[in-house]
Structure 1
Amino acid sequence: MTTFKRGLTATFMALALSATAFTAAPAFAAGKMTISTPQDPGSWDPIDTFLVQWSAVATNIFDGLTYRGPDLKIVPGLAESWEELDGGKRLRFHLRQNVKFHDGEPFNAAAVKYTFDRLLGEQGAKGPQRSNYTSIDSVEVIDDNTVDMKLKAPDPVLLTKLAGYGGMIVPPKYIQEKGEDNFNLNPVGTGPFKFVSYQPKVNIKLEANADYWGGAPKLSELEYRFIAEPSTAVAELQAGRVDLVIPPTIPIGMIPVIKGDPKLAVVSVPGPTVDALRFNTRDGITADPKVRKAIIMAVDRDTIVKSILAGEASPIVSFQSALSFGYDPNLKGLPFDPAGAKKLLAEAGVKPGTTLQIDIRGSDATMNEVAQVISSYLSMVGLTATIKPYETNVITNDIIPQGKTGAMFQQKWGGWTFDYDNTAYAMYHSGEKWNPYDKDEKMDKLLESQRPLTDRAQREKILQEVGAYASERALELPLYNSNAIFGISKRVKGFVAAPDNRLKLNEVSVD
């Protein structure tokens, strides 16, 4: 039996990254902090979303059994400790006592069981989170403060998954009495801040939870404003109506504007977020792998990173960052080779002037600029690209999942577990929300085979095979791994820039 105590790091913590603190956190009087986020998730239910912008807010409303902070270490959350039983096929969690949900409902083992029964049941099947937790067979209440999680097979990433998204613990009585639709819009958790109000597309307001088990927050209020337009967000920051602008709002070109204001600062940290233009592998010219490879070879990604991203990113050859477990530093992507691209297009029978559509998030100013440059590169090999911007919720909740994209579509992915499985399974496994087009038996078997493995080296080898196979099939045009760039007012004290954008703000204060 192996016991996990406070400070234990999960298996993947060999990849730990030290986050950058903006300044130390002295004791300040409570106040209000206003944050600009570029996207309204549309639902606050933990099982409804994969969106980083959900987690940027909801990390302050909900807690998981474990917690991963900006230093990327796994520590106790609502579970004070845990232990492996039956050779890793059972996890026993010893829960914090005297913790209450924001509505006064007690947190206990029954709430943990309800959370995971719901996630793995009919309600969870409606959202994108369930596939991340399928290693869980059942949850058994031992007593009010002890719960066993029985596993179908060992899951080396489970403790990390329990620290975010679908693993957030929810209140059984509140949901059963008020209903699922109400919970989507009026969330209740055990976190450091309580829900106050939500105006879709406008804002969400929170207030301090004075009874928080981790200690009362230093702020009395948090307001998140949904500001999609980067120039508006930066203007509000300059005017003092916003204290923090979170990624991916700030385009590279606006960094000097913020740095030039004596009241403001820029905090930039390497993170897991990667950008790619993925291919419609089912329809049109991009159903042909020769065409997909030609498009990749037509684009000079190194120049894009240097000229447009100003060093705030690094090129990638697979859809993961170098911080990701499963990353293969020896994997070589297709080279920039316009002549080779023209040759492949000719072999595929694609005539000069053939058109294709690139779908992007309209609020992502950096990608708008990058897409224009990619369009120019494609024109040099005889392809005419049109760029179609969408509101972020539309492209992520409708256009991509429903398979209604053009030939290429933007995919921005946080990879928040820092484990390639989290990205690759969602992107490449048949039937997943983010994989509307491709079905590949070999890929499915590779992805499934690595999930139960506890042998770290063996699992890494298979994940590297997944990356190589995705590259071989040219499933996307990999672009870059971008830094997380925050614009912040100097009145904010104690802010720590989380690489994964999951900002827990209970230790932050304002002048």
Structure 2
Amino acid sequence: MKLKAIFSNLALATALSAVALSAAPAFAAGKMTVSSPQDPGSWDPIDTFLVNWASVATNIYDGLVYRGPDLKIVPALATSWEELDEGKRIRFHLRENVKFHNGEDFNAEAVKFTFERLLGEEGGKGPQRSNYVAIDKVEVIDDKTVDLHLKDTDPVLMIKLAGYGAMIVPPKYIQEKGDDFFNANPVGTGPFKVTSYKPKVGIQMEAFADHWGGAPKLSELEYRFISEPATAVAELQAGRVDLVIPPTIPISMIPTIQSDPKLEIVTTAGPTVHSLRFNTRDGITADPRVRKALILGVDRDTIIQSILGGQAEAIGSLQGALSFGYDPELKPLPYDPEAAKKLLAEAGVKPGATVQIDIRGNDATLNEVVQAISSYLQMIGITATIKPYETNVLLNDIIPQGKTGAMFQQSWGGWTFDYDNTAYSMYHTGEKWNPYDDDPKMNEMLESQRAITDRAKREVILKDIAKYAAERALEMPLYNQKAIYGINKRVKDFVPAPDSRLRLTEVSVD
């Protein structure tokens, strides 16, 4: 990691941050209500990978560093940092006079507790620990200085420290209340403080006036969990919701929102990619010829234009153009139904063979897409049945336990904008999102790139991983979709985040 080079302007960024803190106004009276399609089920940072968690919790927690909509890493709870011992140690200098929402002091011990918990037994129960295994131990130098000792190189570590599992949590609060209580009663150092959480209903927050970055402009912030897209849009139209976040809004409902003079659609390029992954262990999709045939049999370009209204780009691997490791030369397989039929015949698959496609029941857009895919597969002799699941069931039970049909929806945020975060999770043996495949060659490539700090060399390997995954036809890559927000015009100064990780400190409402 070339941290010194990357953050050569760190002193300037810190100075600007300090100016912003001193100039931050007191919050104005005003409540904003946001529609989110999913209740993550736990607000503990180590329990989740869900974008819908981050879109809320980015307002509750802080990390050592922060990455905003411009994708740049800037100081947060750490004001500065530097590499020591040839990159084997990173020293963080911590912000002073920071409090958790419960009044507990933020200090080096809180950082140590956070990472030891993440890397320990409790972290092992969730999906985040594998993202931070490069950290060997945390050493407290003094109350405001902490060292992360690394056992392995991780070229994406600084980005990971800006999100999810690396959010700093209060030691005394968790030790006194317990993990189960913390899941439903989160406490962080962020700009908003949780006042109420009703599972499956919503979470309410109030401005944290003592936040180190200054009080937010909003006095209250509410997230409502509305899984049905039509309901979310209706609530937006009625004025009971101010913002509907991705991936809720179906393409077909964009004109409805645009026709309302009180509302508007805001879009930005995002990291989210959609695919149908294959069960490579069981049934006809264990044969790579069949997998390739199913991909060739679907006209994804037509789907993007007719169903998605052009609000997406076809992909050849599980990443969009903003991802480090993206290879513009790796083109999606073309639509070729005759070649598909030939491969199916070679594999001994007779017309009328069936496949089951498992999807998230509340994803209206993907549901339309899969209906079209089913029709295309019918034309090459494959009968597809579509099985919708409640999102948490699909993501926490069906996929990780290897209980899917032949194909299953994998929509992935790729929030680090680095292909490693996607590829390692999807393809390495033993990972939660890889219930079926065990490929030593893939494992070796995935592991080798994590030890390389030379960006050019590492990029070559990441591109090779994408090519190898495509050669093996591990999934049917569908598209990289824009992040689509529906918003009431009474909301001011809203900046759409590519990864839906919204920090709503500067937003106000009329």
Q: Indicate whether the TM-score tops 0.5.
A: yes
Q: Is the 8 A contact 2:298 2:377 kept in 1?
A: yes
Q: Determine the structure 2 residue equivalent to 1:450.
A: 449
Shift in Å at residue 87 of structure 1? 1.0
1:8 Cα deviation after fit: 4.8
The structural deviation recorded for 1:494 is 1.1
2:485 maps to a residue whose letter is F
Matches within 5 A, 1:145-184: 145-184=144-183
The answer to whether 1:471 aligns with 2:470 is yes
d(CA) in 2 for partners of 1:282 and 1:7? 50
SS in 2 for 1:189: coil
Give the distance between the partners of 1:294 and 1:88, measured in 2 at CA: 46
Instruction: Give the CA deviation at 1:336.
Output: 1.1
Runs ≥4 in structure 1, deviation > 6 angstroms? 25-28
Secondary structure of the residue that 2:463 maps to in structure 1? helix
Alignment-derived partner of residue 309 in structure 1? 308
Deviations, residues 319-348 of structure 1 (Å, cap 9, x unaligned): 101110001111133221100100111111
Matches for 1:59-70 after TM superposition, within 5 Å = 59-70=58-69
Q: Does 1:86 align with 2:96?
A: no
Which residue of the partner structure matches residue 101 of structure 2? 102
Counterpart mapping for 1:201-220 below 5 A: 201-220=200-219
1:497 partner SS: coil
Distance 1:94 1:231, change over 3 A: same
Inter-partner Cα distance in structure 2 for 1:109 and 1:27: 28
For the structure 1 residues 386 and 3, does the alpha-carbon distance in structure 2 shift closer, same or farther, using more than 3 Å as the test? closer
Q: Offset of 1:27 from its aligned partner?
A: 9.2
* Distance (whole Å) between structure 1 residues aligned to residue 300 and residue 9 of structure 2: 40
Q: Does the 8 A contact of 1:7 with 1:73 survive in 2?
A: no
CA drift of 1:426 comes to 0.4
- Distance in 2 (CA, whole Å) between partners of 1:335 and 1:291 is 15
Instruction: Among all aligned residue pairs of Structure 1 and Structure 2, give the percentage whose two residues are the same amino acid.
Output: 76
The SS at the match of 2:270 is strand
SS of the counterpart of 2:333?
coil
Deviation at 1:3, TM superposition (A): 8.2
Residue pair 2:27, 2:216 contacting (<8 A) in 1 also: no
- Letter matched to residue 490 of structure 2: R
Tell me the distance in 2 between the aligned counterparts of 1:463 and 1:450: 7
1:30 shift after superposition: 2.1
Name the Cα RMSD after superposition: 1.5
The verdict on how the C-alpha distance between 1:224 and 1:198 changes in structure 2, with shifts beyond 3 A counting, is same
The 5 A counterparts of 1:419-434 are 419-434=418-433
Q: Kindly state the Cα deviation for residue 197 of structure 1 after the two structures are TM-superposed.
A: 1.1
Structure 1 position 29, deviation (Å):
3.0
Q: Which digits, 9 at most, give the CA deviation of each residue in 1:373-393, with x for residues without a partner?
A: 000000000000001111111
Aligned to 2:30: 31
The aligned counterpart of 2:343 is: 344
Compare 204-213 and 152-161 and name the one that shifted more: 152-161
Distance across 2 between alignment mates of 1:6 and 1:51: 32
Give the corresponding residue for 1:57: 56
Which residue is 1:117 aligned to? 116
Question: What's the counterpart of residue 42 of structure 2?
Answer: 43
Describe the SS at the equivalent of 2:86: helix
Separation in 2 of the partners of 1:406 and 1:172?
A: 42
Query: Does the residue aligned with 1:272 lie in a helix, a strand or coil?
Result: coil
* Secondary structure of residue in 1 paired with 2:362: coil
* Cα distance in 2 for residues equivalent to 1:309 and 1:116: 41
Q: Does 1:264 align with 2:255?
A: no
Matches of 1:180 and 1:348, distance apart in 2: 51
One-letter amino acid of the structure 1 residue matched with residue 361 of structure 2: G
Provide the secondary structure at the position in 2 that maps to 1:39: coil
Alpha-carbon distance in structure 1 between the residues aligned to 2:240 and 2:453: 49
Cα distance, 1:155 vs. partner? 1.8
Q: Determine if the alignment matches structure 1 residue 385 to structure 2 residue 384.
A: yes
The offset of 1:235, in angstroms, is: 0.3
SS state of the match for residue 328, structure 1? coil
Quick one: distance in 1 between partners of 2:5 and 2:289?
52
Residues 6, 253 of structure 1: CA spacing in aligned structure 2 closer, same or farther, 3 A cutoff?
A: farther
Structure 1 equivalent of residue 18 of structure 2: none
Contact 1:6 1:81 in 2 (8 A): no
Aligned to 1:444, what secondary structure does the other structure show? helix
Instruction: Give a deviation string over 1:461-482, Cα, whole Å, max 9, x none.
Output: 1101110010010000000000
TM-score (norm 2): 0.95
Compared with structure 1, are the counterparts of its residues 8 and 440 closer, same or farther at alpha carbon in structure 2 (3 Å cutoff)? farther
Shift of 1:28: 7.9
Instruction: Check whether the contact 1:6–1:80 (CA below 8 A) recurs between aligned residues.
Output: no
CA deviation after TM superposition for structure 1 residue 153, in Å = 2.5
Q: TM-score, normalised by structure 1?
A: 0.95
Assess, with a 3 A threshold, how the Cα gap between structure 1 residues 26 and 494 changes in structure 2: closer, same or farther: farther
The aligned amino acid for 2:100 is F
Q: Write the distance in 1 (CA, Å) between the matches of 2:30 and 2:295.
A: 50
3-state DSSP of counterpart to 1:290: helix
1:160-201, Cα deviation, whole Å (9 max, x unpaired): 000000010001100010000001110000000001111111
SS at match of 1:218: coil
Aligned pairs for 1:66-77 (under 5 A) are: 66-77=65-76
Any gaps of 5 or more consecutive residues in structure 2? 12-23
Which residue in the other structure is 1:506 paired with? Answer: 505
Structure 2 match to 1:254: 253
Aligned pairs, number: 496
Deviations along 1:107-132, one digit per CA (max 9) or x if unpaired, are: 00000000000111111111110111
Task: Name the SS of the counterpart of 1:271 in structure 2.
Answer: coil
- Please tell me whether residue 357 in structure 1 is matched to residue 356 in structure 2: yes
2:274 maps to 1:288: no
What amino acid is the match of 2:418? D
Name the SS for the 1:195 alignment partner. Answer: strand
- What secondary structure sits across from 1:268 in the alignment? strand
- Separation in structure 2 between the aligned mates of residue 6 and residue 387 of structure 1, nearest angstrom: 52
| Distance change in 2, residues 1:5/1:316 (3 Å) | closer
- Per-residue CA deviations over 1:243-267 (Å, capped at 9, x if unaligned) read 0000000000100000000000100
After TM superposition, give the deviation of residue 152 of structure 1 in Å. Answer: 1.1
In the TM superposition, residue 314 of structure 1 has moved relative to its aligned partner by: 0.4
> SS at the partner of 1:276?
strand
Give the match for residue 229 of structure 2.
Answer: 230
**Amino acid across the alignment from 1:89:** K
After superposition, where does 1:130-145 map in structure 2 within 5 Å?
130-145=129-144
Q: Measure, in 1, the Cα distance between the counterparts of 2:236 and 2:180.
A: 34
**Alpha carbons 1:63, 1:191 under 8 Å: kept:** yes
Alpha-carbon distance in 2 for matches of 1:384, 1:311: 28
- In structure 2, what is the Cα distance between the partners aligned to 1:96 and 1:201? 36
Matches of 1:163 and 1:493, distance apart in 2? 25
How many Å apart are 1:26 and its aligned residue?
Answer: 10
- Given that 2:193 and 2:207 are in contact with CA atoms closer than 8 Å, whether structure 1 keeps it comes out as yes
Residue 402 of structure 2 is aligned to residue 410 of structure 1: no
Deviations 1:453-508 (A, max 9, x none): 11001100110111001001000000000000000001101110000100000111
1: CA distance, partners of 2:28 / 2:97: 27
Amino acid at match of 1:74: I
> 1:370 is matched by which residue type in structure 2?
V
Counterpart CA distance in 2 for 1:236 and 1:183 is 30
Q: Distance in 2 between matches of 1:184 and 1:337?
A: 49
Distance 1:226 1:7 in 2: 40
The answer to whether the 8 Å contact 1:297/1:335 transfers is yes
The one-letter amino acid paired with 2:411 is K
Q: Deviations over 1:200-258 (max 9, x none)?
A: 11001111100000000111111100001000000000000000000000000100000
Query: Is the CA contact (8 Å cut-off) linking 1:269 and 1:485 kept in structure 2?
Result: yes
Q: Give me the whole-angstrom Cα distance separating, in 2, the residues matched to 1:436 and 1:344.
A: 26
Aligned residue for 2:473, secondary structure, equals: coil
On the 8 A contact 2:25/2:217 being kept in 1, the answer is no
